[in-house]
Chains A and B, each alone.
Chain A
């Protein structure tokens, strides 16, 4: 049997990889190729292109193969799906990565795979592609490897030495959802593998402190992904799970992927896709926890009766509208924590306010210069020349501040 041209296989294996949300190439160790090899990483990730779905293309994100012995219902590559199958050799993946990298199309490689033969065999092939890149090409760019929780921990461990980041998807926010939609996967095994990787990362960091030449292990840490909207989990469930994952496994990121209808879908899945904006609201709440000192319980307070975050307004505004007694906040006196709670004030704006108010008493005009827009902010702050008086307590404040038209969903299903 002849092998299809690389162009045709790339089409299939890139298409199969697009349901993984992560494309980050940031936060890894700094490297360059001045003394040999090819490639560099300088801390900041670079998005080399953007697709019309608004997502950044930073890495060559492909599957080694989309053959799979697993039968997860949300996945286009599941065993019972009718998609066209293809596979790359580790050498082909490495060659393709390098020829893209030399033309400055990408920051590196994000390699994942369907499970062929066995989990161990598949993991070996993934690691081999990374090995060729690192050892034969002396590649210094970014590598993200998806690891397979069922594979031998020793092979996963080797992956961490070649990769900048490793990830294992928890797939669904609840164990019941996983049992139902990914019958071949096991929640305990996934968490076990996350825990093992965390230990490896911590251990390698520790060794690095003591021995300068200790090898690095996944310097950009590990991340995971959850599918939103394929099961009945509410936003409160999802936020709770994410925060436990952050705490237990030292994750750099939890990615959310709004379940998108896949061709040849399994019938257990909902036919209707969740609005994309739901994924966006979850990312916003993730941001609030990571950069704005919100506790998970506080995000949950912002949810509505069904446990989901409102879709028409952002979670920060939703929280502020529920706790109006905490506003207005005096921008000339309030603490950083209180300023961070003001809808419309970002981390940078708060920093600017704190720095500026040492030099002047802020007026509304000054605040306008320090932030992007005053519309949302003005109802929640006071300055020397501005008090929102009754505005903060108006019953229709939500309607006043919510975006007028549904702009984010371009083509509501």
Chain B
């Protein structure tokens, strides 16, 4: 390119931009300047309200009329990549952005593939500008909060106040139009305003926060949602701040809750840590230690009653484990499982089936006696109460410990509570009795009725149930012999 006659070699030019985000205007001027071969250090770009440009001082002779490019000047070339970056970078609030863009455009004429050189400082800088602007736009899409106002005639109007960091308002009008085309809305910012009436978009002068509505009843619902969806067990304040920096908080209705949510979570966490000191989640490694630990167990309300824990008993390597529901009044007094009326009945049936109780490990799904006190003519009596599903589940922690240590080949669960203690779900005894249910450690579970059930029946019904109970026990004895024979 040759310098033109009317271009003075040592002159510099000031370009006054009509608007801070007027990329099209900048592009026209930049093209002309390059065609006139004006080097980057001879051009100053000034935006409205902008200062800080040394060349613009009248005393230094700035403000020279822009030269006209010659008719035969070669066209100015810019890669697609440059254009897409420049469009965004031009919206940045950095006053130097237009100079950087011009310098890069100038250099592109000599080196058309310059944009590929990502290590070049000018390329890097423009990429950074573009990235910042895209982020600001993205945050605008995210953090604009409309507030509804009723206008005369009952029409709904949604108004938002937003403070963007860069000159992005006009560039993002399309996003809000495409999303909320059927609504009447306005976005007010310190740079200008946008108004959509359902048909046309109108621009307005800069606004103030006080021009926007101060509240919306739906914000209470939104704040409730925000506080409830937060999981205090996993506080990560840094992660929140990197994506939602404090500078945005002042215009987000939900952000006012953040300090309290954090403080509440920290308190909750420290309470959990304190609670965790008593109970570190490690199960005792011997039956004796489990026996000691259950004595102090207060994980469910049953443990807090006036009773004692009853540990299972029997050989620690028994092939058969018999599980009942919970200790009864007698068991609680003696501290041993199955010694009351139900235990005596069990002994009778076991003997009849040919099962040696002395070789079995006998225990309960729930370790403490659950009861209510009933005052009658003969004084106060402790009446058995069934444990709830939750209490049984709580106690699984212990029965599983016993099972891990004893490693029985066959577990006989008597009654629905015992079955739940083994399976974790409530099952129907009638449906699953008399068959092997595989457990995940390879052992087998058999389910039958609880002997206390027989105690509550009379006559024929009792005989029928006793026969079923005997049949179940006989099947267990046979299966056990098979398993032990293996």
Contacts and interface: CB of A to CB of B under 8 A. Distances in A.
Contacts of B318: none
Contact size range, B: 35 or more
Given A33-B180, A272-B281, A57 B145 contact: no
Interface in A27-70: 32-40, 42, 44, 46-57, 60-62
Nearest to A138: B182
A276 to B, nearest CB: 6
B144 A258 contact: no
Nearest to B264: A52
A280 to B, nearest CB: 10
A7 B258 CA distance: 19
Contacts, number: 232
Interface stretch (B86-94, B239-247, B478-486): B239-247
Contacts of B397: 267-268
B106 interface: no
B160 A413 contact: no
A18 B228 contact: yes
Contacts of B464: none
B53 to A, nearest CB: 28
B258 A370 contact: no
B238 interface: yes
Given A51-B240, A261-B233, A266 B177 contact: no
B235 interface: yes
B158 interface: yes
A248 interface: no
Given A49-B252, A103-B145, A271-B281, A358 B116 contact: yes
Interface string A89-125: 0000000100110111100000000000000000000
A240 B63 CA distance: 68
B165 interface: no
A56 B279 CA distance: 33
Contacts of A283: none
Nearest to B240: A50
Contacts of B423: 183
B170 to A, nearest CB: 18
Contacts of A6: 221
A32 B229 contact: no
Most A CB contacts (10 A, CB to CB) among B143, B148, B262, B393 go to B393
B106 to A, nearest CB: 18
B424 A52 contact: no
Contacts of A52: 230, 235-237, 240, 258, 261-262, 265
A182 B117 CA distance: 55
B37 interface: no
Given A46-B142, A52-B237, A183-B425, A100 B243 contact: no
Nearest to A7: B224
Contacts of A267: 299, 393-397
Nearest to B424: A183
Nearest to A258: B234
B273 interface: yes
Contacts of B114: 359
Given A261-B272, A411-B235, 17 more contacts: A18-B228, A18-B230, A18-B231, A36-B181, A38-B180, A50-B239, A50-B244, A53-B232, A54-B243, A103-B145, A181-B424, A183-B425, A260-B233, A264-B390, A267-B393, A359-B117, A408-B236
Interface of B: 113-114, 116-121, 124, 138, 141-148, 158, 160, 175, 177-183, 216, 218-222, 224-240, 243-244, 252, 254, 258, 261-262, 265-266, 269-270, 272-273, 276, 279-281, 299, 388-390, 393-397, 400, 423-426, 440
Interface of A: 6-7, 10-12, 14-15, 17-19, 32-40, 42, 44, 46-57, 60-62, 71, 73, 79-82, 96, 99-100, 102-105, 176, 179-181, 183-184, 258, 260-261, 264, 266-268, 270-273, 276, 352-353, 355-356, 358-360, 362, 366, 369-370, 407-408, 410-411, 413
